[in-house]
């Protein structure tokens, strides 16, 4: 039995976050608020979560009549040091102090933190000028952003609970169970008029 991971080689019961559903809900909320030009800052392309989250993003965009392939997508390189690359990625999409996007969809809350710092340092307000959504709901961090970050909750507690019950009850199934990852609407998104 695996918790928060899955086996590539053999069929083993796994409990994992439903990354596609979580990203879908977040992007759906962003688009429902009136945003139409998100800049997408993804985790490294070879991460399994990145692929699933991108599918959720694409589904929400298509349902809203937005072609996801026409959006600007940037994939972070692997390694913590590459969080420092976020400001230059953002700068490439800001011309004469004006962002060429109306929102930023971040691969995780750490990317969102770098986005906040970069935008706020230039006098760009969140959410009045640019909306930002994260992913993970880093423990104790998302609500400390100013303004508090709208993000997707990774369901670690529920994954742990289901995994423990799997062992306690001696379950024998070998399927992968995707656990709901709820979107937490906070103050980094506003409704556009």
Domain boundaries, the chain: 21-155
Q: Residue 55 has which token pair?
A: 């599918």
At residue 171, φ and ψ (nearest 5 deg) are: -65, 150
Confidence of residue 83 (pLDDT cuts 50, 70, 90): confident
Domain 21-155 has CATH 3.10.20.740: no
Q: What is the 3-state secondary structure (H, E, C) of 68-108?
A: HHHCEEEECCCCHHHHHHHHHHHHCCEECCEECCCEEEECC
Find the helix or strand (DSSP H, E) in which 38 lies: strand 38-42
Q: What is the pLDDT of residues 12-37, one digit of tens each?
A: 999 999 999 999 999 999 999 999 99
Q: Residue 48 has which token pair?
A: 């399994």
Instruction: Kindly give, in sequence order, each residue whose CB lies less than 8 Å from that of residue 34, ignoring residues fewer than 6 positions away.
Output: 191, 192, 193
Q: Residue 154 has which token pair?
A: 């990774």
Confidence of residue 193 (pLDDT cuts 50, 70, 90): low
Q: What is the pLDDT of residues 35-66, one digit of tens each?
A: 999 999 999 998 889 999 999 999 999 999 99
Q: What is the pLDDT of residues 113-162, one digit of tens each?
A: 999 999 999 999 999 999 999 999 988 788 889 999 999 999 999 999 99
Given a cut of 70, whether residue 167 has pLDDT beyond it is yes
* Average pLDDT, integer, range 150-176: 94
Q: Return the axis-axis angle of helices 48-63 and 19-32, rounded to nearest 10°.
A: 40
Contact 185, 132 (CB under 8 A): no
Chain-wide mean pLDDT for the chain?
Answer: 94
Instruction: Kindly give, in sequence order, each residue whose CB lies less than 8 Å from that of residue 19, ignoring residues fewer than 6 positions away.
Output: 49, 52, 53, 56, 181
């Amino acid at each position: 039995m695996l918790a928060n991971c899955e086996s590539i080689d053999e069929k083993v019961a796994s409990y994992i976050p439903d990354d596609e559903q979580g990203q879908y809900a977040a992007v759906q909320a962003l688009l429902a608020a009136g945003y139409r030009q998100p800049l997408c800052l993804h985790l490294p392309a070879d991460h399994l979560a990145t692929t699933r989250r991108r599918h959720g993003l694409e589904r929400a965009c298509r349902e809203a009549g937005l072609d996801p392939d026409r959006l600007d997508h940037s994939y972070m390189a692997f390694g913590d040091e590459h969080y420092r690359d976020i400001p230059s990625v953002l700068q490439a999409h800001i011309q004469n102090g004006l962002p060429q996007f109306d929102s930023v969809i971040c691969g995780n809350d750490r990317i969102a933190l770098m986005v906040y710092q970069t935008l706020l340092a230039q006098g760009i307000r969140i959410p009045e000028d640019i909306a930002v959504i994260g992913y993970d709901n880093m423990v104790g961090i998302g609500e400390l952003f100013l303004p508090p970050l709208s993000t997707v909750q990774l369901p670690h507690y529920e994954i742990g609970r289901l995994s423990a019950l799997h062992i306690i009850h001696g379950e024998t199934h070998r399927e992968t169970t995707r656990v709901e990852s709820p979107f937490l609407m906070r103050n980094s998104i506003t409704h556009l008029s």
